[in-house]
């Protein structure tokens, strides 16, 4: 009986751990899905050259890092140098929770009409809504005029 009881304890314990871990995993997926929705909205607005809308929907921290004029200048240059976005694979991701709430970083290896670009989006999830904290694009194409 002692061996059987120890065996049952080993089998049942992982199930108990899953009951504790599963809600955390599901919460993480929710933040990732919200952030991916934010990326889709960002791309749709960028395709329409609605750069001002992107700027004003971003978090105050984002707007403090650059004026609207500076942001418009950068996004217009990206659009000119890269052309339209065409595709991206599944992003690398990182989810963090802290005093500022849930923050999700998504890193894409994207294809634009004129070449490949590494893009990083940083989103804070507020009541299920993604709010842009940061956007970075890296490509050798951006070094040319």
The domain containing residue 54 runs over which residues?
2-143
Residue 130: count of CB within 10 angstroms of its CB: 27
The enclosing domain of 107 has a CATH number of 3.10.450.100
The whole-angstrom separation of Cα 75 and Cα 2 is 69
Per-residue pLDDT of the chain (145 residues; tens, 9 = 90+): 444 444 444 444 444 443 343 344 444 456 999 999 999 999 999 999 999 999 999 999 999 999 999 999 999 999 999 999 999 999 999 999 988 789 999 999 999 999 999 999 999 999 999 999 999 999 998 887 6
Q: How many domains does the chain divide into? A: 1
**What is the model's pTM?**
0.78
């Amino acid at each position: 009986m002692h061996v059987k009881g120890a065996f049952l304890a080993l089998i049942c314990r992982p199930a108990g751990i899953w009951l504790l871990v599963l809600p955390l995993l599901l919460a993480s997926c929710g933040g990732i899905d919200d952030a991916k929705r934010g990326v889709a909205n960002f791309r749709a607005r960028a395709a329409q050259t609605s750069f001002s809308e992107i700027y004003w929907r971003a978090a105050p921290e984002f707007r403090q890092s650059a004026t609207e004029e500076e942001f418009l200048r950068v996004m217009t240059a990206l659009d000119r140098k890269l052309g339209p976005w065409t595709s991206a694979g599944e992003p690398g991701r990182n989810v963090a929770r802290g005093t500022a709430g849930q923050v999700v970083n998504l890193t894409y290896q994207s294809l634009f009409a004129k070449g490949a670009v590494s893009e990083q989006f940083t989103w804070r999830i507020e009541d299920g809504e993604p709010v842009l904290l940061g956007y970075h694009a890296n490509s050798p194409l951006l070094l040319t005029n």
